[in-house]
Chains A and B, each alone.
Chain A
Amino acid sequence: MLVVVLDSATPAVTAAVAAVRRDDVEILTLRVSVDARAHGELLAPAIQGVLADAGVKPGELAAVVAGLGPGPFTGLRVGLVTAAALGHSLGIPTYGVCSLDALGWGQPGTVLAATDARRKELYWAVYTDGERITGPAVDRPDEVAARAAAAGARRAVGEGAEKYELGLAADGPRYPVPEALAALAADRVRDRAPGEPLTPLYLRRPDATLPGQQRKSVLQ
């Protein structure tokens, strides 16, 4: 079964066509552009590109798999509204995957996965043999380092772990791994599970500040 895979939770704008087979998952075509400010411009051409490269027509797709974040809101929403609209127009199910899970996936031992949440904070989770044991959450780097150590993490993956000193060796992937996104949804694809609403993992409340200053009613 052919699926399109998207993730826009990090600066890596990711689109892929994957084959989900009975026993494995294979990425057939892939486009990744790293640009924190241009998700809206890059994603749709990337999707059209991976479909064309794979010689796959949209109508042949069986599902859409999308990274739910956590990630900076604006870019994250580009991916999720794109996935939702693709699923809607093609009449196929959409499945969500935590984007940090696609970093921790397949990693042996206990590892921290961390991505940049801006405002000097990190989105993070801890994995043991690929299973999430803590998180996802958003915290300051010192807090993340302490909680990751308490959870027994020995290594870290993800660009967030390179950006800040967390006392853990940062190796492995920097951005959500396309094969992992597909693999983490593969059972749902094979089972033709009901599609899911793609609810973003915002982890933060909206900033309720208005552009410009407020003025109180003089009648109060």
Chain B
Amino acid sequence: MKSEPLVLGIETSCDETGVGIVRGHTLLADAIASSVDEHARFGGVVPEVASRAHLEAMVPTMQRALDTAGVTLADVDAIAVTAGPGLAGALLVGVAAAKAYAVAADKPLYGVNHLAAHVAVDTLEHGPLPEPAVALLVSGGHSSLLLVDDLASGVTPLGNTIDDAAGEAFDKVARLLGLPFPGGPPIDRAAREGDPASISFPRGLTGPRDLERHRFDFSFSGLKTAVARWVEARQRAGEPVPVNDVAASFQEAVCDVLAAKAVDACRTSGVETLVIGGGVAANSRLRVVAEQRAAKYGITVRVPRPKLCTDNGAMVAALGSHLVAAGAQPSSLDLPADSAMPLTVVTG
């Protein structure tokens, strides 16, 4: 029996330099270098700082991944790289590196979509994705519901955020509460000590009229404003802000809407599998709420472990491995980095 393809994945779309190595659906290495600490004092990712860090981290991160997997570049069957979407200058470092490794080692190159990779990474934890499936993609820059017929050939968007992404809402609310960047993890932690029912924050686009026009769309900007108003009113009254309760109530509002719409999308599409990906999928409450809601309708929820939810190279390798297995055409060496790569394009 021919063994499954050994695929290397390179990720540099934002502030993590990631190199992952997989064999088929088996994760062999997931090396990451992050510049997040250099951005923290700015309250967001500074593109030029991220790009400089990628250049420095690229070769050491690659070597760590190879060492961990116990393979050499010569053993690899294909090299996948995030071609977009993301920060243009950051993407370009990974794309250029991937091409150089591909030329030097004479390997096929696959430029892949970062968002599709956030969905594909679950195959490393739970095996091949039953198709069709519904994917809830919730990250720092995106919040979408997708119908996945075949990850190798594309996904059909069902709905998107009409303003902020879910991760962005976590980051902005954390800032309001004086919690560090990125805001998802500290809010997740604070919420464990708080009462999610203590404050009733709005659930965006869930009213009857909204459900007609925006059934599978999201909106988090009104929620963010509601949290800001609530906090400001407390301060004006000279009362302390109950950070844990605010975090828990905000998080509940986000998870409630995400889970409700995702389950609705599964039922409407007649799909029995919901896969959740992207940084916000690391949220401990989202997993619980989604599973509770899905269980009622016999829908299976798949969420990879938190480390695989945020940006990493393994997710790129996972999608690359799927493309190799599906016999997809490799990318050419003049592959551009596409900072606005649309969700519907899986490989560049």
Chain A interfacial positions (CB closer than 8 Å to B):
38-45, 47-48, 51, 58, 73-74, 77-78, 80-86, 88-90, 200, 202, 206-212, 214-215, 217-220
Tell me if B55 counts as interface (CB < 8 A to partner A).
yes
A contact residues around B288 at 8 Å (CB): none
Inter-subunit contact B42/A208 (CB<8 Å) = yes
Kindly identify which residue among B46, B58, B63, B336 contacts A209, using a CB–CB cutoff of 8 Å: B46
Inter-subunit contact A77/B101 (CB<8 Å) = no
A contact residues around B232 at 8 Å (CB): 218
Inter-subunit contact B96/A89 (CB<8 Å) = no
Inter-subunit contact B176/A219 (CB<8 Å) = yes
Give the Cβ gap from A110 to chain B, nearest Cβ, in Å.
34
Tell me if B59 counts as interface (CB < 8 A to partner A).
yes
Kindly identify which residue among A45, A200, A217 contacts B334, using a CB–CB cutoff of 8 Å: A45
Kindly identify which residue among A39, A81, A206 contacts B100, using a CB–CB cutoff of 8 Å: A81
Kindly identify which residue among A41, A43, A47, A88 contacts B62, using a CB–CB cutoff of 8 Å: A88
Q: Which residue of B lies closest to A88 (CB)?
A: B59
Tell me if B165 counts as interface (CB < 8 A to partner A).
no
A contact residues around B43 at 8 Å (CB): 210, 214-215
Inter-subunit contact A218/B49 (CB<8 Å) = no
B contact residues around A44 at 8 Å (CB): 96, 99-100, 102-103, 333-334
A contact residues around B73 at 8 Å (CB): 89
Kindly identify which residue among B51, B62, B103, B228 contacts A58, using a CB–CB cutoff of 8 Å: B103
Most buried by A among B89, B100, B172: B100
Q: Which residue of B lies closest to A8 (CB)?
A: B96
Chain B interfacial positions (CB closer than 8 Å to A):
42-49, 51-52, 54-55, 58-59, 62-63, 73, 88-89, 92-93, 95-97, 99-106, 172, 175-178, 228, 231-232, 235, 241, 332-337
Kindly identify which residue among B44, B46, B177, B333 contacts A48, using a CB–CB cutoff of 8 Å: B333
Complex: A45 Cα to B335 Cα, angstroms: 10
Can you list 18 A-B pairs, Cβ within 8 angstroms, ordered by A?
A42-B334, A81-B96, A84-B97, A85-B62, A85-B96, A86-B103, A89-B73, A90-B104, A202-B52, A208-B42, A212-B44, A214-B42, A214-B44, A215-B43, A215-B176, A217-B175, A219-B176, A219-B177
A contact residues around B62 at 8 Å (CB): 85, 88
Complex: A220 Cα to B337 Cα, angstroms: 40
**Beyond A208-B49, A218-B231, 5 extra complex contacts between A and B, CB < 8 Å:** A43-B96, A58-B104, A58-B105, A78-B92, A206-B46
Inter-subunit contact B58/A81 (CB<8 Å) = yes
Known: A42-B334, A58-B103, A219-B241. A80 touches B63 (CB 8 A): no
Give the Cβ gap from A92 to chain B, nearest Cβ, in Å.
10
Inter-subunit contact A82/B46 (CB<8 Å) = no
Inter-subunit contact A200/B55 (CB<8 Å) = yes
Inter-subunit contact A81/B55 (CB<8 Å) = yes
Inter-subunit contact B55/A80 (CB<8 Å) = yes
Inter-subunit contact A77/B55 (CB<8 Å) = yes
Known: A77-B92, A77-B96, A210-B44. A40 touches B336 (CB 8 A): yes
B contact residues around A214 at 8 Å (CB): 42-44
Q: Which residue of A lies closest to B73 (CB)?
A: A89
Known: A74-B51, A74-B88, A84-B59. A48 touches B103 (CB 8 A): yes
Complex: A211 Cα to B93 Cα, angstroms: 19
Inter-subunit contact B96/A218 (CB<8 Å) = no
Inter-subunit contact A85/B59 (CB<8 Å) = yes
Inter-subunit contact A82/B96 (CB<8 Å) = yes
Give the Cβ gap from A73 to chain B, nearest Cβ, in Å.
7
Inter-subunit contact B104/A81 (CB<8 Å) = no
Inter-subunit contact B96/A210 (CB<8 Å) = no
Kindly identify which residue among A41, A58, A80 contacts B106, using a CB–CB cutoff of 8 Å: A58
Complex: A220 Cα to B235 Cα, angstroms: 11
Complex: A58 Cα to B101 Cα, angstroms: 11
Complex: A86 Cα to B59 Cα, angstroms: 10
Known: A77-B89, A81-B96, A210-B42. A218 touches B101 (CB 8 A): no
A contact residues around B46 at 8 Å (CB): 206-210
Inter-subunit contact B231/A206 (CB<8 Å) = no
Inter-subunit contact A45/B333 (CB<8 Å) = yes
Most buried by B among A78, A200, A214: A78
Give the Cβ gap from B12 to chain A, nearest Cβ, in Å.
9
A contact residues around B335 at 8 Å (CB): 41
Q: Which residue of B lies closest to A198 (CB)?
A: B55
Inter-subunit contact B104/A40 (CB<8 Å) = no
Complex: A39 Cα to B91 Cα, angstroms: 13
